[in-house]
Structure 1
Amino acid sequence: MASGEFPLNYKSKLTSTHYGVILICFLMNMCDGMNVMVISYTANSITSSWNINPSSFGIVFSVGLLGMALGAMLLAPKADVIGRKPMILLCALWMGLGSFVTAYALSLEQLIFLRFFTGIGIGSMLACTSTLASEYAPQRTKNFWVSFVMSGYLVGAVLSGLVATQLIAHQGWPSMYIFSGIITLLTIPLGYFFLRESIDFLLKKQPTQALQKINSILLSMKLKSISTLPTFDQNQAKTNVTMLFNADLKSATILTWTAFLMCFAALYFLTSWIPKLASITGLSNSLSIYAGILFNLGAFVGILTQGYLSAKFGLRKVICFFLLATALLMLLFGFFTGTALTLIFFGLIGFGIQGGFIGLYSVAARVYSTEIRSTGIGWAIGFGRLGAIIGPFVGGLLINIGWSVDLNFIAFALPLVVAGVVTLFIKSSELS
């Protein structure tokens, strides 16, 4: 910026405006988690109702993940052009309509298309909400608030699972898509009235009526308005993915993408196969379900703990510790299979892997400047989702050829070691 920095430290103190943005982003991520998991909750009912071989249903999961990857890479970057708020509202509309219409799918082909369509909106939402949260959170507590916002995904997945057990049993599988679609669409008016645009975006991009919008936000924070916008080279405001590989960002981009890829592979292996792996260890079907619940509960606590510790000890160090500690737990898992400690281990693994993984969103938010932040986060997520496709597939192959649980865990501990070590080498002036 040629004329200096923005004259007001509008992030130094959290106000109702800050909390409103953070809570709406949290709510949007809850809807994101619900719309991701709804296909898992309804898969058995759909295959039974349509008399489909469960193995043939795998393409539905795959195209959903493909849609999420494309949404993160192609749709999320538009938030650097039109703004964070419009893109978040568009994603909510996209997800809500996609989910609602899925209730009326009549064939596997229609379901495949609708999951791909819905996945595009799902994939973009996480990048946009993490970006906006990072741009409103105070510097000192940014890691915590970004992690808190991202934990909404997990809360939405768990709560919608509780709803699904009752709704599907009494109303059938289409009712779950109607429910998730309506709930998601209802967040749009909340977002329209209570979500604020990023001041960072308005300052750097300076869209139409930027000054009026900034002053409206400042007024809501009980801060003085400004008379003019700072000036800077407008050519620097142009955004495209090649900017992520500029000389000063190339190394950080490659390392960030690698960390996301490795974490996505290990995480989706675990979330996809936990019930199956738990049953292989000798746990009953009911206890295998509890293994999944404890994994997610541990994950929620781990995300918030990581956000808190990162503010004290540094983001990269805490992420590395969480991921390496999780890898160690996975290496030791084989010594405790078939015992009550198995459930505890699943909870601890969820605590570590999700805590470390979600921290990467904060890393990406700090690596990239305002004008390319959504693009940077979106492409990191999109590239990482290749791991989400590869991880469960490789895990299934290993299980089919007879690999034991402890060998599976050893195999997928390695990506976490790589991700943890790689994170330490990501360089940015904003990273501790």
Structure 2
Amino acid sequence: MNTRQHRSTDQRHRAPLRWIVAIAFVALVFDGYDLVVYGTVVPVLLRDPSQIGPLTAGQAGALGSYALIGVMVGALVAGAVGDHIGRRRVMLVGIVWFSLAMGLSSFATDITVFGILRFLTGVGVGALVATAGALIAEFAPPHRRNVYNAIVYSGVPAGGVLAALLALLASDGGDWRALFLFGAAPLVLLLPVALLRLPESPKWLLARGHVVRAHEVSERTGVPLPDTAPGEAEGKPKVGFAALATRRYALASLLLGLMSCSALLLTYALSTWLPEIMGQSGYGKSYSLVFLLTLNGGAIVGGLLASRGADRSGPQRMIVMTFVLAAAALALLTLGLPLPALLVLVAVAGVGTIGTQVLIYGFVSHYYDTVARAAGVAWCAGFGRLGGIGGPVVGGALVGAGLPPSNAFYIFAGVAVLGALVTSFVPRASTEPASAPAASAAGSRSGGGASVLTHE
């Protein structure tokens, strides 16, 4: 493709890509909102049994995990069907499902009903998280994929900031219901836009044999298509989770899952229990929520900056670095430093936990080719939620045991070190953005892993 053709494709590509990024970003804002809003209301639910009934710290941690079990189920289901029915349908169903469950949660009056609705909310969140990365990976230019992915997944910490701000404005315990009702807004604000503006991936259409539609969408969106569908040269390819079990992806999938597991344990543990832990350290409700704002604000800014480095040097190296930053910041939080220093450390911890997960989704969505991409991201999001499920439970156990807050931070720092080690052992993939342009040109000339790029 010459320079003039390349510029024409870029211009045609830009408008659809902006809509896709905007829709996926807003969807994940509400994912992050749901993640953090529960943490902001845990102190109210613990202290006021008139809300949903008497609640212990252990039960509060379990309620936080119900949503994460739902996320795991939703992500795995989305992965199972996403490579078969398409990304667009899964996104639309996820928006509707999440919004309805979140809105209904605001009317819960007992622990059982609230827990069931938290689980159902998580199912919708899982479908959105697992599908957004696959969409961005197939529409974004290879040399900008990590940046666009970071923009989309920065919606998670942005939603956390939104939840913390709205919680700060809440004047009494009863306002928690309004916070949950607000989570139903995507049904009215986002769904109509997605129905009109969210296209199906032309690469997925081609991979599934819809050649005419694939070329129509390619012309409209400017997304280039390969000359052959994935697997055409070597016979019918394995699709979805079946592809993850092949020798090509099995070891990498295990390590990527463990990597995500570490990051999500840290993300959900801190998002759920940071206000309570800091409250036990002598900071009132307003200060505790400021820590939560700082955690998510650091994740947004740091995640976007780190994604630029990931596009230049590769995401794997950057993820190791952010895990190490998280470990250092969490360990230093135990030193009883002045408030400004604590806020800086919390912001760095946000980069190394929530921001790391943003980078992980970008890494994973580019690691797999089209026929396995939704399943790969879903595996990362779903298996990783085992860590997310454990995060609130571990935090609840530590808080309930009355141990000093420093103990929790030391344990979380150890998890970050484990995440860095696991990441360093993930096999290199030829689909990394830094090498994509050259490898795409090489395509059929290169054997082994380079054939992945011909699928793109």
Which of 139-148 and 68-77 deviates more? 68-77
**Are the aligned partners of 1:97 and 1:185 in contact in 2 as well (CA < 8 Å)?**
no
2:40–2:289 contact (8 Å) kept in structure 1: no
Partner of 1:3: none
Identity over aligned pairs, percent: 25
1:379: Cα distance to partner?
Answer: 1.5
Which secondary structure state, in structure 2, belongs to the residue aligned with residue 141 of structure 1?
Answer: helix
> What is the deviation of 1:297?
0.8
Aligned equivalents of 2:122, 2:234: Cα separation in 1: 34
Tell me the distance in 2 between the aligned counterparts of 1:387 and 1:225.
37
Aligned partner of 2:405: which letter? V
Paired with 2:260 and 2:215, the residues of 1 have a C-alpha distance of 34
* 1:114-263 alignment, distance < 5 Å: 114-166=117-169, 172-207=175-210, 210-212=211-213, 214-221=215-222, 232=232, 236-263=236-263
**The residue matched to 1:181 in structure 2 has which SS?**
coil
List runs of 5+ in structure 1 lacking aligned partners.
Answer: 1-7
Q: Name the structure 2 match of 1:292.
A: 292
CA contact (8 A) 1:11 1:136 kept: no
| 1: CA distance, partners of 2:351 / 2:37 | 23
How far is 1:151 from its partner? 0.6
Does 1:90 pair with 2:89? no
Instruction: Find the aligned partners of 1:384 and 1:302 in 2 and give their Cα distance.
Output: 22
Which amino acid in 2 is paired with 1:393? V
Partner of 2:444: none
SS in 1 for 2:160: helix
Q: Report the Cα offset of residue 300 of structure 1.
A: 0.8
Give CA-to-partner distance per residue, 1:26-55, whole Å, 9 cap, x none.
111112223344444455666544461122
Q: 1:25 maps to which residue?
A: 24
- Aligned counterpart, 2:76: 73
1:196 maps to a residue whose letter is: P
Structure-2-length-normalised TM-score:
0.83
Residues 214/148 of structure 1: CA separation in 2 closer, same or farther (3 Å cut): same
Task: Assess if the C-alpha contact under 8 Å between 2:329 and 2:346 holds in 1.
Answer: no
Q: Mark the CA change 1:168 to 1:374 in structure 2 (over 3 Å): closer, same or farther.
A: farther
Shift of the 96–235 alpha-carbon distance from structure 1 to 2, 3 Å rule, reads farther
Distance in 1 (alpha carbons) for counterparts of 2:288 and 2:395: 18
Give 5+ residue unaligned stretches, structure 2.
435-456
Letter in 2 for 1:16: A
Does the 8 Å contact 1:76/1:125 carry over to 2? no
Deviation of 1:124 (Å) = 1.4
TM-score norm. by structure 1 comes to 0.87
| Letter paired with 2:414 | L
| Conserved 8 A contact 1:75-1:124 | yes
Partner-residue secondary structure (3-state), 2:185: helix
Q: CA RMSD in A?
A: 3.0
Change (3 A) 1:373 1:328: same
Does the 8 A contact of 2:202 with 2:213 survive in 1? Answer: no
SS at match of 2:236: helix
Offset at residue 75 of structure 1 (A): 2.8
1:112 aligns with 2:112: no
Mean Cα deviation higher: 51-60 or 134-143: 51-60
SS of match in other structure, 1:236: coil
* Aligned equivalents of 2:276, 2:179: Cα separation in 1: 24
Structure 2 residue identity aligned to 1:279: G
**Hey, what does 2:323 align to over in structure 1?**
323
